[in-house]
Structure 1
Amino acid sequence: MADVIDLGEYGEGFRADPYPVYAALRALGPVHRVRLPEPEAYDTWLVVGYDEARAALADPRLVKDVGRGGILALEERVIGKHLLITDPPQHTRLRSLVTRAFTARRVESLRPRIQEITDDLLDAMLPRGRADLVEAFAYPLPLTVICELLGVPEIDRAGFRDMSDEVVAPTSPEASDRAFDRLGVYLTELIEDKRCAGPADDLLGALIRTTAEDGDRLSVSELRGMAFLLLIAGHETTVNLIANGVYALLTHQEQLAAVRADPALVDGAVEEVLRHEGPVETATFRFAAEPLTIAGTAVEPGDPVLISLAAAGRDGDRYPAPDRFDVRRDTRGHLAFGHGIHYCLGAPLARLEAGTALRTLLRRAPGLSLDGPPGPWLPGMLVRGRRSLPVRWQERPPLT
């Protein structure tokens, strides 16, 4: 067994800036046996090289169904099967059914509503002169979008946020377990309410009605699992994509000036944020279904494997001067949304929301700047984002 590198020994510095640690590890090799920091604190293989990460993300020998790795996933016990914890052929079946309802046309149809929500949030925020951007803008925008898309009643959204926060960035294993239990109960009730209410013009209603050519449909457990995945992944990642993007631009003034001068660069800025400081630090766990090697490193059956999307995005062999933030960079091939069959289903929606948010915010707040140090980074190694981002600005009235 390889020597174990205890990432917890790097302290808070690793959470604040993991990239020097990833670079040092990558200089020694693309795959390492590590012990994760608290609260996880268990051993896993960690992939930090771009080429090796891309290959591992698409390797069918690395499975997502943890039952095949000898562990019963909490999600499966209290939520239900979803795309992040299944493998073919079950994954193929679920994705096929979901994509029948979550279509590109449905996402594109949201563009006017996303712009409206963005404008409404800025109408409320900008007269104040300063705000926590996460609380006032980056969080409520994608939360409102995904809750409206799925048909979550407005009265339930505050409680949903609390549960969601504990799922993606748990403060303790016990709090995480409670959040999963509460989400399971809530989603079961939501699905039952929609069944009883009859056809609804929202995504969850469409998922309930979706039927394949052979008559196959999502079970209640599968509906609960898919609603969980879409709600959690559909807003938590976009919150941090928006906030990370604003912070990156405000701390790289020449890049901010370039985007202000040419708003067409916003889409490139979003892609560079995804590469440089993406909202997902590591892909969710995979498990070796059989003996295999990753870059010459032997991985035994049942071994967990974490693939660092953040480290892959800063691999200098793939991206020259990888620590430089450059909105004009060729970011093609970045792994922020994954790769292979588990490529993020919601990537088009995340890009649409982030692009709309940055473009509108920069237009309406020309004097946007930091208003003090940002808040602490979220705990754990799944999501990459800050709890708060204080900003101030000079408001520019919307065009009429």
Structure 2
Amino acid sequence: MVGAVSRMKKTAIRLVPLILLAALLQGCAGPRAVTGLASPTQSDARYLSTIPFLVATTRAASATPEPPYSRDRSLALNFSQVNVLVPAAHRPGSVETSSDIPDPARHFSARNLTPIADSKSFLSLLNARLAERPPSQREIFIFVHGYNNNFAEGLFRNAQIVHDYNISSVPLHFSWASAASFSGYLFDRDSALLARNGLAETIEIAARSNASGIVIVGHSMGSYVVMEALRTLALRGESRIFPRIRGVMLAAPDIDPDVFSSQVDDIPVLPQPFTVIVSRRDRALNISRRLTGGGHRIGSGFNIPLLQKKNVQVIDISDVDGGGHSGFASSGTLIKLLGSDRLLRRLMTDEDATANGKVAEAGQAVFENAALAIHLPVRILEGLSTGQSRPVLDGGNVSR
């Protein structure tokens, strides 16, 4: 009996930091962003730019325009189109939102959300958007948001990335049923898993379009959705889809290393280039590690050799602007480096096949001062040893 009481006390003591941490996070949770779709009509003369989005979501549609999609799950994909206004006062890296009526001069806001009836209509509209662009811009950019995001927050983060990084592809937003609550971590994990079929279907639709290729970016728990969707497509034998994917980037992926290895092993041909952004200073992933009771997450930067063996290139932003969980999108240094001279495209796609690191010569001076490290996949390192590939800067040095 004494031993059992002692074990209970020890268990309680171990749980105290997590309980206090959860209470702290819950206390810090402020008002959530709104889209502005239900706001009275107001002048939009002061907004900076408009970004038209196509939306595919596993959220259930709401009965009211705010929010247009809820935290509830939908087993069938819902489609829509919507315009996002970037505020006149926008600062690169920031997502300026409001929990009340957004002011287009100061806050991201949405306009003209229109439901799309079915996947056939969605594909037709996607092809129409592609046809409006010059051939060099006929890619599809799919962004998958992370944990603790409502519909507005995920959509506006996508808009911020598209705007700040000068992404010229047709933007497609994939929204899954996050509870948008710090205490909803387990609910979000289940929702992410359930969303894999929806994202797989979205990628399949994009692959049937007239696009020149598809680029996929997942953030945090959204990376888990991406990996599960790719695994689902592979297990279904959808081999024709993978050549259409010109690049995958996982930013701060909240994935257990063993799970990630299993996912990769189920995908015969991993889309290339495949890039993972990591940071040893990512506090959010450290919290995730403690909540799940496992080891460091893939995005924590402690499994780089594993990633290299899996033919994944790694961008380590630990020493870039604090190395935070959303650093890939909010870092002024990264935006300055990767948002110019199409460097982001060179990192994410095979556009410049002569430079295996996809880093343009024009950007090297900036790169050297960025405290940024790139670790190449084993397949490229082997090429370097035989003189078949060009090296990539690793904070000014070659990562071997």
TM-score by length of 2: 0.24
> With CA pairs under 8 Å and 6+ residues apart, which has the higher RCO, 1 or 2?
1
Which structure features the higher share of helix residues?
1
Which structure features the higher share of strand residues?
2
TM-score by length of 1: 0.24
